[in-house]
Structure 1
Amino acid sequence: MPLFIVVLGIILLLVLITGFKLNTFVSLIIVSFGVALALGMPLDKIVSSIEGGLGGTLGHIALIFGLGAMLGKLIADAGGAHRIAMTLIDKFGEKRIQWAVVVASFIVGIALFFEVGLVLLIPIVFTIAKQLKVPIVYLGIPMAAALLVTHGFLPPHPGPTAIAGEYGADIGMVLLYGIIVAIPAVIIAGPVYTKLAKKIVPGAFDKTGNIDSLGEQKVFKLEETPGFGISVLTAMFPVILMSIATIINMVQTSTGMENNTFFSLVNLIGNASTSMLISLIIAIFTMGISRKIPLKEIMNSCAVSISHIGMMLLIIGGGGAFKQVLIDGGVGDYVAELFTGSNMSPILLAWIVAAILRVSLGSATVAALSTAGLVIPLLGQYDVNLALVVLATGAGSSICSHVNDAGFWMIKEYFGLSMKETFGTWTVLSTIVSVVGLGSILLLSLVV
């Protein structure tokens, strides 16, 4: 019965969002109330459960998400992302242009959220494709694969960051393992799949695309942008700090060294929120002050970045509210009972649940957070690496992007594809990322 109520809740959510075009956040709150009532939660506990889920989720992610948005905006506005892309494309050369796009998109994708990275990189890809006289999709598939992989697997992106908080996983371990999982996923879904896609949907490689809807693009003169080294360092700095802290912690654990002031300081600096704050301060200097940009203009970029993510934060909070209702309403415990004595790995279960919710709901972040409400009570029964469960949830929530996902329509319109061609490129690509990601996670679980 609890699972039946959840299914009805998901169907209602789908109807409200896609049928009535209701705002996703509002739809999530309505469904949270409805599911809470249907599950028989005490009336005086419903509001506190929803508020607790929303506040608990945003309390963990808002700082990281907000600082990350500011960091990405500063790098983009200063031309740092443009410098990274153009330098790598020049260094790799025409024959290895796809790999240049993959590496550039991966680096930029760590600093910028999926939609922002897509809008920023597409004009560059269009320009290079015309210069080299290659199909837009030939470069577009590797670019989209790299952006999707960073979005699904790597903090400080909203999905992996929020789920790490819900599962209580170490975000540094999520980052390290995420990079390991990301590499084969982006290679297979990007340059490798491009060759197959040309046979499956050859028509897609004849399209010229259309980016008029992006409006007038900011034009950078390469000599006026920050240097390549400082641009990469600024974009990667939070990753570097969190990775160093995680490695030091692993060494401390393996050697049995006692905690002291040094390790406490390392943990403080390596904390995701601290790393993002330090990285932002560095970006204010490298992308702004050192280039004689007035502080007022730099702060304006930061303010604009926050205004763009306001609704996304509310949607994430709404997903957290729905998750909490599933836990407090006993659905998670019910699922845990169903799998008591089962040999199914929580990693596989998290992937399956997230994949079903992703196909149903469209939003990867909402699917991931809803999965947490069903999986969290199960985790206490198994000795499982929580960072891998986070990544499995992210992999499941990346699968089969189709008509109920905004990313599907962005790819379709920008590249000028038909519905069939979008399914044959973007939908298959997202599914490859998900499946290859799961395979890598399962292999990793054998050794960590």
Structure 2
Amino acid sequence: MLALEKTTIADQVRSDFPILNQEVNGSPLVYLDNAATSQKPTAVLQALQDYYQQDNANVHRGVHTLSARATDAYEGARDKIQAFINAARREEIIYTRNATEAINLVAHAWGQTLQAGDEIVLTVMEHHSNLIPWQILSQKTGAVLKFVELTETQEFDLEQFRSLVSDKTKLVGVVHASNTLGCINPVEEVITIAHQYGAKVLVDACQSVPHMAIDVQAMDCDWLVASGHKMCGPTGIGFLYGKRDLLRSMPPFLGGGEMIADVFLDHSTYADVPHKFEAGTPAIAEAIGLGAAVDYLTNIGMDKIHAYEAELTAYLFQQLNKIPELKIYGPQPDAKGEGRAALASFTAGEVHPHDLSTILDQAGVAIRAGHHCTQPLHRCIKAQSTARASLYFYNTQAEIDAFVVSLKDAIEFFGGIFG
């Protein structure tokens, strides 16, 4: 009797993502640009449509039925996010347009407490979103920026970090999983060390929240940021997690409607968190859509998603490691695909990553090429740009095979030119 083939998560969910069922340039779409943005399941698309077709009204401000339903869905999504990352309280979840705005919120509001000589410790692998706001803040306050560099395996140098942090350190900003190197940073140890010196820690979790179970209470971070569009949700919505007392100590980021308690002509008082940081009409539909995305991921199970992606990562690296022209950046996964994010950034000799991406697109394969908003990191690894293939739970080994065949064809094509 023949053994049945293993049914994967991708087999179970592919039909939920209608965008994947199309041809691009005459070939089936192979979407491997998930680190830039993920695709959206029908459950999320339906949640957006249902809001606009059935419940479209402003939240919090009306007593009529549509407003009440919209408010329930909008605030219900906050509860879902709270549970998803195990925050202690719902008011610790602040809606933002994206992770970039969340980091700027912290830099602007909490950053006002910094003085000349205070120190901010970041890493050379940070996304520009977790670098530029701190550069601006340091220019305003005189705070000093320091940077954790890479180990020989292009990972977070924990020993160097120990040497950088001191009583002068007020903030540590660290990416959980690098969008270029794929390394998963030891944020729990970083947080423990930083807290010993009284420093606060902000974790950029854009590349981890969509791919693994996150527990902010166990992690003990002071702030954590993520973007909805990378976790099956809509664009234009993200969130900031912050410890409640810390958020309450921070002044507002934006002023206007919704974030107030009482307004007079010469002064105002402010609402409690989370609304203190949510001025104006919010992205209602997008928040509801993010709530639907959280439901979708929760129903699958983040541990199952992580385990399946580890299998895909192991297979991806097995195939890429067979191509001698490639230089792959960041640490290698272990035999089970663990130890790094489900992505691979690489170069192929003299072939420009943009040329590789263009040729792959002609075969229906979507990857990313460029500096991935990590220009300082690319200078560190001595690469002007890289090509990047990034996976999600709806990808398959067959798609990796198609990608590898097209990649080899592209390298052979350009080899003929350069040869």
Tell me the TM-score normalized by structure 1: 0.31
User: Which has the larger strand fraction?
Assistant: 2
User: Which has the larger helix fraction?
Assistant: 1
Tell me the TM-score normalized by structure 2: 0.33
